[in-house]
C-alpha cells in the first residue's frame, strides 16, 4: 500500500531525476474532460443540458488539449534535467513512436472499419457473403476514404484536415507531439545553459505565437476553408503552434528548479493557489461570447488557459493543497498514468457503443467511462509488468 503523505512529494531517483506524483492525477482530469467533450458532441450527454454550471466545463472544455502539451514539456524537461546528459534524438523518437503510434494505427483502422459499416446502411452485422457489398456501399458514401486513411496513418491530417474526413480525431495531437519530441533533446540541453533572467524572458515570449495566432484567426475571413467550422478546426489542431505550449512547459520546469516558484511550497499557499486558479479556469469559460470577435474567443479559450494550466501545474508540485492530495490518491494516480490511452481510443469505442446501446443515459455513460479507463489502466499495468520481467530476465542472464 502506498503512503499518501510521503508519496505526494517529488522524489529524485537514479532513473527519474524528478517525479511529481500529483501530475498523474492532473493527467486523469484532463483526459476525462476531453472524453466527456466528445461524449457530449455525440449527443450522449443530452440529459445533462439543464446543468448550466456543469456543461461549460464539458463543452468548452475547461481542460483542453493544451494542458497535455504543458505538462508533457514539464515532465520531459524534468527527465532530462542533467545538462551533461547526452540524449540521442533517433532512439528517443523511436521510443515515443513505439509507445504511441501502434495504438493510433490500430484504432484508426478500427474507426475506418466502423465508419464503413455505419455509412453502408446495414443495420445488422453482415454475413461473410455480404462483407463485400457492405464495404462497397460504405466506401461509396464516405468522402475520400482512402486518402483520409492515408492522412491519418501518416500523421499529416492535422496539417491538411480539409483534404480528408476525420477518422480517429484525437490522433491529430500525435503530429505535434512527435514534432515536440524531435526538438526535446536539443532544446533541453540549450535550456539548461540559460540564466535565470533569460528563463523569465522565455516565460513571457512563448505566449506571443499563440496570441498572434489568435489575432490572425480573428482578423482573417474564412480563408480557403469552406466555412468557419473548417477554419476553426485547422487553427485548433495546426501542429507548429502547439510546440510553443510544450516549450512553455519545459521552461516552467527550469524556473521551478531554479526556485522561481518556491513560495508555492509554503503552508496553505498551494491550496489557496489551486482554488484561485481553478476558479479562474472555470470563470474563463464564461468569457466566450458568440457576438465577440472570433479572435477574442480564441484567446480566452486557447491562449489564456495555457498560462492558467501552467500555474495550476506548479501549484500541485509540492503535494500540498486539496487538489494535489486528491490527485495523489493511489488509484487516481494509477489510472492517471494510463490516461493518454483513453484519449487515443475513446472515439472508436464511443462510435461502437452507440450501435450497441443508447449512450444518452447516465448508467450507460458511466459504464462506458469505466470500461475505457479500466482497459487502459490494465493495458498500462501489463506493459509495466512486461518491462519489469524483461529487466529481471536480462539481469539473470548477465
Mean pLDDT of 385-389: 87
Q: Which of 105, 108, 220 is nearest to 167 (CA)?
A: 108
Does residue 110 register a pLDDT over 50? yes
How many angstroms separate the first and last alpha carbons of the chain? 32
Within 10 angstroms of residue 172's Cβ, the number of other Cβ atoms is 24
Cell of 237: 489542431
| Biggest CA-to-CA distance, the chain | 70
Cis peptide bond upstream of 220, omega within 30: no
CA distance 228 to 220: 11
Mean pLDDT of 30-56: 92
Does residue 329 register a pLDDT over 90? yes
DSSP conformation class of 164: S
pLDDT for the residue 84: 64
Does residue 279 register a pLDDT over 50? yes
Q: Which of 269, 234, 122, 240 is nearest to 178 (CA)?
A: 240
97 versus 316: the higher-pLDDT residue is: 316
What percent of the chain clears pLDDT 90, i.e. is strictly above it?
Answer: 60
Rg of the chain over Cα atoms, rounded to whole angstroms, equals: 22
Length of the chain equals 398
Q: Which domain holds residue 233?
A: 4-397
pTM, rounded to two decimals: 0.89
3-state secondary structure 31-51: HHHHHHHHHHHCCCCHHHCCC
Does residue 378 register a pLDDT over 90? yes
CA distance 98 to 144: 28
Mean pLDDT of 141-155: 93
pLDDT for the residue 10: 57
Does residue 83 register a pLDDT over 80? no
Number of domains in the chain: 1
The answer to which of 81-90, 120-129, 246-255, 288-297 has the lowest mean pLDDT is: 81-90
Does residue 74 register a pLDDT over 60? yes
pLDDT for the residue 6: 45
Does residue 215 register a pLDDT over 70? yes
CA distances from 106 to 116, 177, 344 (A): 15, 18, 10
CA distance 361 to 168: 24
The answer to which of 11-25, 210-224, 269-283 has the lowest mean pLDDT is: 11-25
Does residue 20 register a pLDDT over 60? yes
Q: How confident is the model at residue 395 (pLDDT cuts 50, 70, 90)?
A: confident
Mean pLDDT of 236-246: 90
Mean pLDDT of 303-331: 93
pLDDT for the residue 14: 43
Does residue 169 register a pLDDT over 90? no
Does residue 12 register a pLDDT over 60? no
Does residue 271 register a pLDDT over 90? yes
Helix, strand, coil percentages for the chain (3-state, nearest 5):
75, 0, 25
Q: How confident is the model at residue 97 (pLDDT cuts 50, 70, 90)?
A: confident
If you write DSSP's letter for every residue of 240-300 in order, what string do you get?
HHHHHHHHHHHHHHHHHHTTTTGGGGSTTHHHHHHHHHHHHHHHHGGG--TTS-HHHHHII
H helices within the chain, ranges in order? 4-7, 22-41, 55-59, 66-79, 89-120, 131-141, 145-153, 172-191, 196-205, 208-219, 228-237, 239-257, 269-284, 294-298, 304-316, 322-327, 330-337, 340-356, 362-397
If you write DSSP's letter for every residue of 99-124 in order, what string do you get?
HHHHHHHHHHHHHHHHHHHHHHT-SS
CA distances from 339 to 15, 30, 311 (A): 22, 9, 21
Report whether 70 contacts 382 (CB < 8 A): no
Does residue 291 register a pLDDT over 90? no
Residue 370: CA count within 13 A, CB half-sphere: 6
Q: Which of 235, 79, 230 is nearest to 165 (CA)?
A: 230
pLDDT for the residue 390: 84
pLDDT for the residue 196: 95
Does residue 188 register a pLDDT over 60? yes
pLDDT for the residue 9: 59
Does residue 3 register a pLDDT over 60? no
CA distance 214 to 176: 18
Report whether 308 contacts 281 (CB < 8 A): yes
Cell of 315: 501549484
Within 10 angstroms of residue 271's Cβ, the number of other Cβ atoms is 17
User: How does the average pLDDT of the chain come out, rounded?
Assistant: 89
CA angle at 7 for the pair 324 and 36, rounded to the nearest 5°: 40
Of the segments 10-14, 88-92, 105-109, which one has the largest average pLDDT value?
105-109
Q: How confident is the model at residue 5 (pLDDT cuts 50, 70, 90)?
A: very low
pLDDT for the residue 212: 94
Does residue 398 register a pLDDT over 80? no
Mean pLDDT of 187-205: 93
Amino acid at each position: 500500500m502506498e503512503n499518501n503523505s510521503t508519496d505526494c512529494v517529488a522524489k529524485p531517483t537514479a532513473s527519474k531525476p524528478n517525479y511529481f506524483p500529483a501530475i498523474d492525477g492532473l493527467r486523469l482530469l484532463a483526459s476525462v474532460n476531453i472524453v466527456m467533450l466528445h461524449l457530449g458532441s455525440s449527443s450522449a450527454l443530452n440529459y445533462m443540458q439543464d446543468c448550466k454550471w456543469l456543461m461549460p466545463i464539458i463543452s468548452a472544455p475547461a481542460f483542453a488539449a493544451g494542458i497535455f502539451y504543458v505538462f508533457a514539456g514539464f515532465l520531459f524537461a524534468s527527465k532530462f534535467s542533467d545538462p551533461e546528459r547526452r540524449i540521442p534524438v533517433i532512439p528517443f523518437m523511436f521510443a515515443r513512436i513505439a509507445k504511441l503510434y501502434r495504438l493510433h494505427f490500430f484504432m484508426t483502422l478500427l474507426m475506418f472499419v466502423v465508419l464503413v459499416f455505419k455509412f453502408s446502411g446495414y443495420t445488422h452485422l453482415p454475413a461473410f457473403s455480404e462483407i463485400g457489398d457492405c464495404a462497397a456501399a460504405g466506401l461509396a458514401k464516405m468522402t475520400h476514404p482512402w486518402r483520409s486513411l492515408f492522412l491519418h496513418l501518416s500523421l499529416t491530417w492535422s496539417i491538411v484536415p480539409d483534404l480528408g474526413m476525420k477518422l480517429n480525431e484525437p490522433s491529430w495531437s500525435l503530429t505535434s507531439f512527435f514534432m515536440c519530441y524531435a526538438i526535446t533533446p536539443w532544446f533541453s540541453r540549450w535550456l539548461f545553459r540559460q540564466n535565470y533572467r533569460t528563463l523569465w524572458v522565455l516565460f513571457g515570449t512563448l505566449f506571443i505565437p499563440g496570441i498572434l495566432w489568435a489575432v490572425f484567426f480573428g482578423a482573417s475571413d474564412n480563408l480557403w476553408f469552406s466555412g468557419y467550422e473548417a477554419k476553426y478546426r485547422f487553427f485548433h489542431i495546426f501542429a507548429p503552434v502547439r510546440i510553443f505550449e510544450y516549450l512553455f512547459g519545459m521552461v516552467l520546469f527550469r524556473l521551478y528548479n531554479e526556485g522561481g516558484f518556491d513560495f508555492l511550497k509554503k503552508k496553505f499557499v498551494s491550496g489557496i493557489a489551486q482554488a484561485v486558479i481553478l476558479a479562474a479556469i472555470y470563470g474563463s469559460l464564461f468569457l466566450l461570447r458568440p457576438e465577440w470577435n472570433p479572435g477574442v474567443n480564441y484567446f480566452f479559450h486557447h491562449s489564456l488557459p495555457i498560462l492558467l494550466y501552467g500555474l495550476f501545474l506548479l501549484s500541485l508540485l509540492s503535494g500540498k493543497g486539496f487538489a494535489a492530495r486528491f490527485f495523489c490518491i493511489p488509484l487516481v494516480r494509477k489510472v492517471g498514468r494510463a490516461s493518454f490511452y483513453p484519449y487515443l481510443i475513446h472515439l472508436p469505442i464511443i462510435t461502437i457503443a452507440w450501435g450497441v446501446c443508447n449512450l444518452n443515459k447516465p448508467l450507460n455513460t458511466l459504464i462506458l467511462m469505466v470500461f475505457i479507463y479500466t482497459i487502459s489502466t490494465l493495458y498500462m499495468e501489463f506493459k509495466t509488468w512486461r518491462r519489469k520481467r524483461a529487466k529481471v530476465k536480462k539481469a539473470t542472464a548477465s
